[in-house]
């Protein structure tokens, strides 16, 4: 499956007023090589193994495969993950046409970093940009979770 997304910095916490719900996420990486990342993620007690391919030149598109796995197995895999376990709270902000923003508030050593991303059906799909969005950082590898 192809993933098409755009990513933005966030300038204030007004997104919380628009959020329909939120999730607590812990994730780590078993592989962060440029050609692919292998991620273990626990979201509100459910666990997933995700493999993502290399991003397109503009950073918007890449192959993604995901499978739910046993939560105890995920915790064991996090024990052998590369350094840099990420913990964050993800807010879901619905938009028109079934689209939505996911706004991640990072915790721990990344506390203070807030990123918004939107997945699109195709790269040129128009979407409304809320006032709380700041600079677009799509394609900037400094904001890839796998690089944090």
Active-site residue (options: 29, 91, 143, 144):
29
| Domains of the chain, start order | 2-147 (2.40.320.10)
The whole model's pTM is what?
A: 0.88
**Contact status, residue 87 vs residue 26, Cβ threshold 8 Å:** yes
Q: Which residues pair with 102 in a beta bridge?
A: 92, 117
The average pLDDT across 40-62 equals 92
94-121: per-residue pLDDT in tens? 998 899 999 999 999 999 999 999 999 9
Q: Give ∠ CA 121-43-127 in degrees, rounded to 5.
A: 25
**Contact status, residue 11 vs residue 133, Cβ threshold 8 Å:** yes
122-134: per-residue pLDDT in tens? 888 999 899 999 9
Is the model more confident about 2 or about 85?
85
Active site residue 15: no
């Amino acid at each position: 499956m192809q993933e098409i997304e755009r990513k933005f910095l966030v300038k204030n916490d007004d997104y919380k007023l628009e959020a329909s719900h939120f999730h607590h996420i812990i994730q780590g990486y078993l592989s962060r090589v440029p050609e692919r990342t292998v991620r273990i993620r626990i979201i509100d007690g459910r666990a997933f193994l995700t493999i993502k391919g290399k991003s397109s030149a503009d950073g918007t598109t890449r192959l993604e495969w995901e499978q739910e796995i046993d939560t105890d197995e995920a915790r064991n895999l996090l024990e052998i993950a590369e350094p840099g376990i990420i913990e964050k709270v993800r807010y879901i902000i619905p938009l028109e046409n079934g689209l939505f923003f996911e706004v991640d508030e990072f915790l721990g050593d990344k506390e203070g970093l807030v990123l918004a991303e939107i997945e699109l059906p195709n790269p040129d799909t128009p979407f409304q940009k809320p006032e709380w969005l700041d600079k677009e950082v799509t394609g900037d590898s400094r904001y890839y979770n796998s690089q944090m």
